[in-house]
Amino acid sequence: MFNTFFPHEYIDSTYQIDFRRYYNQGYRGIVFDIDNTLVPHNADADDRAVALFQKLRKIGFSTCLLSNNKESRVQRFNEQIQSEYVFKAGKPLRRGYEQALEKLGTTRETTLFIGDQLFTDVWGAKRIGIHCILVKPMNPKEEIQIVLKRYLEKLVLHFYLKQPNIVLIGFMGSGKSTVGRALAEHMQYAFLDTDSYIEAREGMTIPEIFEQKGESYFRELETTVLHELLKNTHNTIVATGGGLPLAKENSNLLSQLGIVVYLKAGEDTIYNRVKDSGNRPLLQVENPRQRIRELLAKRDGIYENVSDEVLVTDSLTIDQVIGKIRKLV
């Protein structure tokens, strides 16, 4: 019912965001709300804010401030920040966001939005189709009209936080990412793939990580990432790497993260799907089919134990799989 107002992510503070990871994912521009997102309401830019924008510039981001406030307020904040800005933006109307994109020279796909209010910041960003991160407001003391809005926000956030994540597990090539992406679109959820998350976090591909740091390093990363996701992942379809559920610690973490669905596929289906892909280090062997058979025999029982639901997908279309998962939520 309130999906329109649901952010893609909900994080405690702007200053906790791992911006380099987003850069590695392909984002190049960031649109920021100012008040209560970067500094307390009406405050000047402090050292932390100045340092953040310096860091963002160094990473390679372009930035734009997007404020409903008047120009003098925005200019005062921007004195030491030196970012592009749009004032009297009229959020949640589209036009301010469009102006910001123009100033940044980025596209909807390569731009992030960060703000603290649902009915202005997030709603507008969702309307225009930018990935948006909601942060908790910095200043608990707010103007009266905002205090009223916060009550309604609380209600929407209650529903947002109540909806469970859906976690897809299963063997390489079982369709976790393909189904996950389609399901996320269908349910208006965010989508997150743990392999892509790890690649962006490390700035390396999975084969590079295996080659340069070793498989055990990769496995430790999978656990670290699960801990990170547990802190702030909501309303999200999570597709996991095929080996992630195997560690005992991870199976508990997965259950905490959401409803765990095992997409089960047989040896033939898997072999046909993965035989031409070169990005799975575990299958770069002389006889990949035999390797699949051996790994499947080891893993199938574990996947079944870890999951809340098993879906045999060999003869199902993506839409059929989605239909079955939807019935679970």
Q: Rounded CA gap, 217 and 202, in Å?
A: 11
Find the binder of ligand S3P among 49, 86, 134, 172 (CB under 6 A). Answer: 172
- The least distance separating ligand S3P from the CB of residue 171, rounded to whole angstroms, comes to 7
- The least distance separating ligand S3P from the CB of residue 192, rounded to whole angstroms, comes to 12
Grouping H, G, I as helix, E, B as strand and the rest as coil, residue 240 is: coil
110 or 250: CB nearest ligand S3P: 250
**Contact string (CB under 6 A) for ligand S3P, positions 223-252, x = contact:** ------------------xxx---------
Q: Rounded CA gap, 307 and 251, in Å?
A: 9
Q: Rounded CA gap, 184 and 15, in Å?
A: 27
- The least distance separating ligand S3P from the CB of residue 226, rounded to whole angstroms, comes to 13
Find the binder of ligand S3P among 74, 206, 257, 325 (CB under 6 A). Answer: 206
Find the binder of ligand S3P among 40, 266, 281, 288 (CB under 6 A). Answer: 281
Find the binder of ligand S3P among 9, 116, 195, 199 (CB under 6 A). Answer: 195
Distances 211 to 48, 106, 204, 252 between C-alpha atoms, Å: 38, 34, 11, 28
Piece of the chain touching ligand S3P by CB under 6 A; list 75-83, 122-130, 264-272, 277-285: 277-285
135 or 206: CB nearest ligand S3P: 206
Piece of the chain touching ligand S3P by CB under 6 A; list 15-23, 90-98, 133-141, 276-284: 276-284
Which residues are registered as beta bridge partners of 64? 31, 84
CA 216 from chain centre, in angstroms, equals: 25
Q: Rounded CA gap, 170 and 296, in Å?
A: 10
100 or 169: CB nearest ligand S3P: 169
- The least distance separating ligand S3P from the CB of residue 277, rounded to whole angstroms, comes to 8
Distances 25 to 2, 21, 99, 104, 317 between C-alpha atoms, Å: 28, 6, 24, 18, 29
The encoded tokens of residue 79 equal: 């004195």
- The least distance separating ligand S3P from the CB of residue 170, rounded to whole angstroms, comes to 7
Vertex 69, ends 123 and 81: CA angle to 5°? 100
Which region, left, alpha or beta, applies to residue 9 given φ > 0 means left and ψ of -120 to 50 means alpha? Answer: beta
36 or 240: CB nearest ligand S3P: 240
- The least distance separating ligand S3P from the CB of residue 195, rounded to whole angstroms, comes to 5
- The least distance separating ligand S3P from the CB of residue 157, rounded to whole angstroms, comes to 31
Q: Where are the beta strands (DSSP E) in the chain?
A: 9-11, 29-32, 62-66, 84-86, 111-115, 131-135, 165-169, 190-193, 236-239, 258-264, 309-312
**Binding flag, residue 258, ligand S3P (CB under 6 A):** no
CA 117 from chain centre, in angstroms, equals: 19
172 or 200: CB nearest ligand S3P: 172
Q: What are the residues binding ligand S3P (CB under 6 A)?
A: 172, 195, 206, 241-243, 280-282
